Amino acid sequence: METPRIRVLLLCGGQSTEHEISLESCKSVAAAIDHERFQPLVAGITREGVWNYYGEGSFVEEADDPTKIHLIPDAPMCYPGRSTKGAVLYVDGKDEVVPFDVAFPVLHGMHGEDGTIQGLFEMFGVPYVGCDYTSSANCMDKDITKILLNSAGFRTAYSLVIHRGESLSEAYVEERLGMPLFVKPARTGSSVGISKVKNAEGLTGALEEAFKYDDKVLLEECIVGREIECGVLELPDKQLFVAQPGEVVPHDEFYSYAAKYLSSEGATVIPCADLAEEDAEEVKRLAAKAFHVLGCSGMARIDFFLSNQGDWVLNEVNTIPGFTSISLYPQMMKNSGIPYPELITNLIENALSRHSGTKFLLK
Ligand SMILES: Nc1ncnc2c1ncn2[C@@H]1O[C@H](COP(=O)(O)OP(=O)(O)O)[C@@H](O)[C@H]1O
Ligand SMILES: [Mg+2]
């Protein structure tokens, strides 16, 4: 008898500012997954937070335009749950529930990368790809990530934290961090709400912009140097694989939202950075250490600056990096010998093997 395929629930869309890029990422994953071993079932989460069920069918329209891509409307709604036999989706209008074996959140930002959906999967006792709820939450908040990394001896950009309603004098900020500086919401991604401020006059506007997205904002010294990114993959046997580092060279002031998604002119993305061998080894070692310190599992893309003084400054950790076929994480893996379909297989197997060590009360 043929072994049944493993049913993989792919989740995409979501309520974050990165809704569209998640759809693009999920489209690539659904196309590249090994269909002989896995049955991909897609649930698309609308901007309002409604779960739509698409199963194995198509789920996006206008997929070739990153500004227009959207979920196909009017799909039946679905709700995750737990039956006595395992995790299921209840689908509107279907008498039978849809069981699934493992979830793959191809979501970015709020309610996708921040530990909330990971907590839901924990509640239902279902294996899921990537970091658990604690490490997801810690990596989503750039302030908390820094506190944890600094306590383990990592160099990060010096920063000040400001909560909604608080104020800091411009002179104090300039004295502590110098100019230019970066203002960023603590918990967004894709450069949303981020500004580079060149003088004290620019501070108020940059803070207003950042507070549109979060109640907590970071002010950071500007690191002058190269942007080097490391892809970390936890293999099914729990060994860590760190790909050869990649590099992003922004053509403008910094790697902005527009440079990431709207124009290929905005930045040059290099899957294998031109680094001396000892520098590449050092940053790979730091990436693996950060992965452990932050309690990550499955995968992460860990982004560094190599400052002009020669220091490795850890910028941020992305627990669900971009997954389009041209995104840096899959490109770095491919360049280091793990093609895209194999990367997906590894991630799913890692999720299943991590989960098999856990015991649940429900049988
Ligand atoms: N302290 C900094 N010094 C220099 N450039 C920075 C700094 N912080 C952010 N940037 C620039 O802004 C981009 C986006 O910031 P980042 O912290 O990575 O946020 P996101 O999570 O949105 O990607 C970076 O890729 C880099 O180009
Ligand atoms: Mg970034």
Ligand 1 centroid to Cα of residue 63, in Å, is 27
> Are the CB atoms for 268 and 260 separated by under 8 Å?
no
Q: Is the pLDDT of residue 359 over 50?
A: no
Mean pLDDT score of the chain, rounded to an integer? 94
- If you take atom 14 of ligand 1, which residue's CA is the nearest one? 191
CATH number of the domain located at residue range(s) 138-154+224-353 in this protein: 3.30.470.20
Is 157 near ligand 1, meaning CB less than 6 Å away? Answer: yes
Residue 363 confidence class, pLDDT cut points 50, 70, 90 = very low
Q: Where in the chain is the domain with CATH 3.30.470.20?
A: 138-154+224-353
**How far is it, in rounded angstroms, from Cα 94 to Cα 205?**
51
Average pLDDT over residues 135-148: 98
Nearest ligand (C-alpha, residue 301)? 2
| Range with the poorest average pLDDT among 81-95, 106-120, 257-271 | 257-271
Mutate to test the pocket of ligand 1, among 184, 257, 308 (most ligand atoms within 8 A of CB): 184
Q: Tell how far the Cα of 359 is from the centroid of ligand 1, in angstroms.
A: 40
Least confident of 197-206, 261-270, 299-308, 328-337: 261-270
Share of the chain above pLDDT 70, in %: 98
**210 ligand 1 Cβ < 6 A:** no
Q: What CATH topology corresponds to 6-128?
A: Rossmann fold (3.40.50)
pLDDT of amino acid 361: 40
Q: Which pLDDT score is estimated for 2? A: 75
Instruction: Give yes or no for residue 326 having a pLDDT over 90.
Output: no
Q: Is 17 in the pocket of ligand 1 (CB under 6 A)?
A: no
pLDDT of res. 335: 97
pLDDT at 362: 38
Q: Tell me how many helices (H) and strands (E) the chain has.
A: 10, 19
Cα(21) to centroid of ligand 1, in Å?
18
74: left (phi over 0), alpha (psi -120 to 50) or beta: left
pLDDT tens digits along 327-355? 999 999 999 999 999 999 999 999 999 88
The reply to whether ligand 1 has any atom less than 6 angstroms from the CB of 216 is: no
Comparing 166 with 189, the larger pLDDT belongs to 166
Q: Is the CB of 223 under 6 A from ligand 1?
A: yes
Task: For CATH 3.30.1490.20, list the domain ranges present in the chain.
Answer: 159-221
95 pLDDT higher than 90: no
pLDDT at 278 over 60: yes
| Residues carrying CATH 3.40.50.20, the chain | 6-128
- What percent of the chain lies above the pLDDT cut of 90? 83
| Nearest protein CA to atom 21 of ligand 1, as residue | 189
Contact present, 330 and 216 (Cβ < 8 Å): no
Look at 356 and 59; give whichever has higher pLDDT. 59
| d(C-alpha 52, C-alpha 195), whole Å | 35
Q: Is residue 206 within 6 Å of ligand 1 at its C-beta?
A: no
Q: CATH 3.40.50.10800: does it fit domain 159-221? A: no
Exposed/middle/buried for residue 40 (C-beta within 10 Å: 0-12, 13-18, 19+): buried
- Cα 278 to averaged position of ligand 1 atoms, centre (Å): 25
Q: Does the pLDDT at position 308 exceed 60?
A: yes
Atom of ligand 1 nearest to the CA of 192: 22
C-beta of residue 210 within 8 angstroms of C-beta of residue 193: yes
Give residue 6 CA to ligand 2 midpoint distance, Å.
33
Residue pair 284/245 in contact by the 8 Å Cβ criterion: yes
Pocket residue to mutate for ligand 1, from 253, 306, 315, 320, most atoms within 8 A of Cβ: 315
CA 329 / ligand 1 centre spacing (Å): 17
Helix (H, G, I), strand (E, B) or coil at 287: helix
DSSP codes, 114-156: SSHHHHHHHHHT--BSS--HHHHHHHHSHHHHHHHHHHTT---
Q: What mean pLDDT comes out for the span 269-274?
A: 95
Residue among 139, 182, 222 whose CB has most ligand 1 atoms within 8 A, to mutate:
182
pLDDT for residue 357 is more than 70: no
